[in-house]
Amino acid sequence: MTDETFDVVVIGGGPVGENAAARAVRGGLKTVLVDHERFGGECSFWACVPSKALLRPGNALAAARRLPGVQVGGALDPAKVFERRDYFTGKGDDSGQVEWAHGAGIETRRGHARITGERQVTVDGEHVLRATHAVVVCTGSVPRIPDIPGLDEISVWGSREATSASEVPGRLAVLGGGVVGVEMAQAWARFGSRVDLIITGARPLPKYPDFAGDLVVEGLIEDGVRVHANSGLVAASEVDGAARLELTGGETLTADKLLVATGRRPGTDDLGLESVGLKAGSTLTTADSGVVSDVDGEWLYAAGDVTGRAPLTHQGKYAARVAADVITAKAAGRPVGESPWSPYTSTADHYAVPQVVFTDPEVASVGLASPEEGKPHRAVDIDIAVAGSSLHADGYQGKARIVVDTEREVLVGVTFVGQDVADLLHSATIAIVGEVPLHRLWHAVPSFPTISEVWLRLLEAYGL
C-alpha cells in the first residue's frame, strides 16, 4: 500500500483529463493523471483521430474526381490508408502522450482508479492518492450495446474495431444512423466493402436539419451504400460463418461483420461512485463550473463524455479548462462567481456546441439545428450556390441554414452541409458566441470567390 498527496487527482488520461491536468499544473497545482489503459484515450487511438485518418483520403479522391482536368487514376489503396492511420495512432503506443504529460509537469500513474472516499482515489486497490483540493473525473464513455437476440453469436465490430481494422470485410452491415454510423459506413464503402446501413428513422443524423441527413444519404448511395431507413435489427444469427440479420418488416441481410454504432454511455461502472453516494454507471451531472451535483463539499469535478453534456473532444477539453481554472482560483482563495461567459463557467455548452460530421458531404453545425418552439426564432434555408462553391467543385451541392433570434437579431444556430464546409464552422461559432448583431455581421464581407459567400446570401435571404 502506498499513500501520496497531490493538489489535484485527475482520473482518466484521455484528451479531457490531459487538458484538466495540464491546466491545473499551469495554475501551480501539483497534479497526477491516472489511466488504466492508454494515455490519449479513446479519441487518440480509436475515435476522432483514426476515423478522420480513414475518411480524409476518400474525401480527397472524390473531390479530385469532381474537377475536370485532374487526372485521377485508380481507387483508394486501403493498405496505404491504414498505414497512414497507424502513423497517427502510433499503433497504440502511448509513450508520446506520457512524455508530453511529463513535459507539461503532470505526474502519471497507470492503473484502475476508484474513488474511495472524500478527496481520495485508490489505484489498483493499493495505491492511495489524496487530493488536497479536487478530484476530476474524465473517464469518458463506453459503447451502448442494444439487447438484440443473437448479437453475441455473430462477428460484431464496435467503433474501436471499425477504426482500427486493417482488413476490408466483403460485406459490412452498420447498425445506427448517428455520426459514427454514417462516417464509418462511408469510409468502409470507399475501401470496397458492400455496406448496408440500418437506421431507425427516415434519414440518419436525426439531431440535424432534415436536409443534412438527406444530403448525406445521397453521398452514401453514390458510394454504393444501401440505406435501410425506418428499420431496425430484430435478431441475428450465424449461418455458414456469416451474420444473418433480420430487420424490422421481415427483410434479411447477410454480412461478414456487423458494426454496432448505437451510441455511448458514461464510463462510470466501476469508479467507486457509491462511496460518495452516487449510483454506479450513472452520468456525472455537473454545474457549469464542472462541480459534480449531489456530492457535498465541492471537491469532486467532472468533464468530458462522462458528464453527458456534449460528447465531443473539443467541448470536453473546454469544460476541463473551466474546471481546472475554477479549482486553481479556489485554491488561491480567489472568487469564481457564476456569471455566464466568465472563465469559470462552460456557458458555451448551452448555446454554441460546434460539431462536424466528416462524411462527404460534410455536415458542420453549431447552436440550434431548428427554431425552438415558443421562442422568437426563424430559420432561413438556402442552397450553397455561390461563385466560390461552383469554382470549388463541379456540380457542388450544399445547403445552409441560419436560425435567427428575431427579437435580438442575432444568430442562435447555423448548419452547413456540403463539400469542405468544416472550416466555415468557426465563423458561425464566433458569430453565435459573440452575439454579433446581424446588421453588424452584414459588414463582415466574405472574400470572393469563396464558399464563405454563403454568409452574404443567408443574410440577404433573411431580409438584409
Ligand X SMILES: Cc1cc2nc3c(=O)[nH]c(=O)nc-3n(C[C@H](O)[C@H](O)[C@H](O)COP(=O)(O)OP(=O)(O)OC[C@H]3O[C@@H](n4cnc5c(N)ncnc54)[C@H](O)[C@@H]3O)c2cc1C
The percent of the chain in helix, strand and coil, each rounded to the nearest 5, is 35, 25, 40
| Cis geometry, peptide bond prior to residue 169 (ω within 30 degrees of 0) | no
**Is 139 among the residues that bind ligand X (CB under 6 A)?**
yes
Q: Is 311 in the site for ligand X (CB under 6 A)?
A: yes
- Minimum distance from residue 78 beta carbon to ligand X (Å): 18
Residue 391 per-residue DSSP state: H
Question: Should residue 266 be labelled a site residue for ligand X when binding is judged by CB under 6 A?
Answer: no
DSSP 132-159: EEEEEE---EEEPPP--TTGGGS-EE-H
Residue 108 within binding range of ligand X, rule CB under 6 A:
no
Residue closest to 380 by CA, chosen among 356, 425, 337, 415: 415
Does 414 bind ligand X (CB under 6 A)? Our answer is: no
Give min distance, CB of 94 to ligand X, in A.
9
The DSSP output letter for 372 is P
Cell numbers linked to 14 = 484521455
Q: How far is the CB of 160 from ligand X (least distance, A)?
A: 8
In angstroms, rounded to a whole number, what is the distance separating the alpha carbons of residues 220 and 201? 16
Q: What is the closest distance, in whole angstroms, from the C-beta atom of residue 367 to ligand X in the complex?
A: 16
Rounded to whole angstroms, the Cα distance separating 261 from 454 reads 33
Residue 429 interacting with ligand X (CB under 6 A): no
Count residues binding ligand X (CB under 6 A): 37
- Using the rule CB under 6 A, is 53 a contact of ligand X? no
The total of other beta-carbon atoms located within 10 Å of residue 144's CB is 12
Asked if residue 181 binds ligand X (CB under 6 A), the reply is: no
| 260 or 438: CB nearest ligand X | 260
Question: Residue 89 interacts with ligand X (CB under 6 A)?
Answer: no
127 counts as binding ligand X under rule CB under 6 A? no
* Contact with ligand X (CB under 6 A) among 58, 140, 204, 367: 140
Residue 455 contacts by C-beta under 8 Å, 6 or more apart in sequence?
427, 441, 444, 446
For residues 366 and 34, give the distance between their C-alpha atoms in angstroms, rounded to a whole number.
32
Residue whose entry in the numeric block shows the C-alpha cell 495505491? 127
**182 near ligand X, rule: CB under 6 A:** no
Q: How far is the CB of 193 from ligand X (least distance, A)?
A: 16
Angle at 319 between CA 260 and CA 162, to 5 degrees: 20
Is residue 138 part of the contact set for ligand X (CB under 6 A)?
Answer: yes
Applying CB under 6 A, does 58 fall inside the site for ligand X? no
Q: Which is nearer to ligand X, 15 or 367 (CB)?
A: 15
Among 10, 21, 27, 42, binds ligand X (CB under 6 A): 42
Member of 8, 25, 32, 48 binding ligand X (CB under 6 A): 48
| 366 lines the binding site for ligand X (CB under 6 A) | no
Residues that bind ligand X (CB under 6 A): 11-17, 34-38, 41-43, 47-48, 51-52, 112-113, 138-141, 159, 163, 180, 267, 271, 304-305, 311-314, 316
